[in-house]
Amino acid sequence: MARPTVDFWYEFASTYSYPAAFRVEEVAERFGVAVRWRVFALGPVFKAEGLPADSPFNWQAAKGRYMWRDVARLCADLDLAFAPPVPFPQPSLLAARVALLGEDGGWGIDFAKAVFAAEFGDGEQIGERAVIAGILERLGLDAGPILDAATGAGNKARLRAVTEEARALGIFGAPDFVTADGELFWGNDRMEAAFRWALDHAENAPRGAPGD
């Protein structure tokens, strides 16, 4: 029987996407579901909702204070290095555009995890071209052509389209898990609920998913 596939929507500026990225593969394996990583941009989603484009953790002070403590606790549980990036949020568009290319190239997941580790573990400035180039090169990739393609008009338009797709699914924050039958689960802490839903509703999933 096919493993159900769940889409994992993430945004590089999103703090809770970081622990999610570093546990999603293990949890998916345990549940027996396949995961498709989907990068998108949260800023345009906030803007379309009439909210400030800035992180809600900046314009909602008490919620922001809680988030830093909460993510630190979560990362400690996962033995994951964590330090709040400065500035926060980090400009994430360049990394998102590169990750989009990686989804085709088969290196998207490794790239995404390396970006998250650089940003939230090592305090690197992921908005800088040199930082992204360094990450690509450490993955054995040719950074120059990738960065050129990532920042070309076609790929920029593609990220906008993907972000529209996310909005159409009901996405308003990150990370998210969307099952084949369209159920949306928001938040690192709902990962397990999404996988359980996918298994319980597997008869609705399209055929041909990984694991056939």
Strands 5-10 and 176-179: antiparallel
> Is the Cβ of residue 46 or residue 88 nearer to its own copies in the bound state?
46
69 binds its own copies (CB under 8 A): yes
One of 2, 25, 173, 181 touching its own copies (CB under 8 A)? 173
Give residue 207's identity as a one-letter amino acid code.
Answer: R
Q: Is 79 in the site for its own copies (CB under 8 A)?
A: no
5-10 and 34-39 strand pairing: parallel
Q: Which is nearer to its own copies, 73 or 138 (CB)?
A: 73
Cis ω on the peptide bond leading into residue 145 (within 30° of 0)? Answer: no
Q: How far apart are CA 94 and CA 173, in angstroms?
A: 19
Interface with its own copies in residues 3-42 (CB under 8 A):
none
CA–CA separation, 181 and 153 (whole Å): 32
Count the residues of the shown chain that bind its own copies, applying the rule CB under 8 A: 24
- Catalytic residue check, 14: yes
Under the criterion CB under 8 A, does residue 156 sit at the interface with its own copies?
A: no
Q: What share of the chain is helix, strand, coil (3-state, %, to 5)?
A: 55, 10, 35
Does residue 61 interact with its own copies by CB under 8 A? yes
Name the catalytic one among 14, 17, 55, 92.
Answer: 14
Q: Does 65 contact its own copies by CB under 8 A?
A: yes
Q: Least separation, in Å, of the C-beta of 53 and its own copies? A: 14
Asked if 118 is part of the footprint of its own copies (rule: CB under 8 A), the reply reads no
Task: Give the nearer residue to its own copies in terms of CB position, either 92 or 188.
Answer: 188
Cα separation, 68 vs 58, whole angstroms: 11
CA nearest 16: which of 50, 44, 56?
A: 56
- Contact between 47 and its own copies by CB under 8 A: the answer reads no
Determine the 3-state secondary structure of 37 from DSSP: strand
Examine residue 200 and tell whether it contacts its own copies (CB under 8 A). no
Any idea which residue has 């994951």 for tokens? 80
User: CA 191 to CA 184: how far, in whole Å?
Assistant: 10
Contact residue for its own copies among 149, 190, 199, 201 (CB under 8 A): 190
What is the contact surface with its own copies in residues (CB under 8 A)?
A: 45, 49, 51, 60-63, 65-66, 69-70, 73, 167, 170-173, 184-187, 189-190, 193
- Catalytically active residues, by annotation: 14
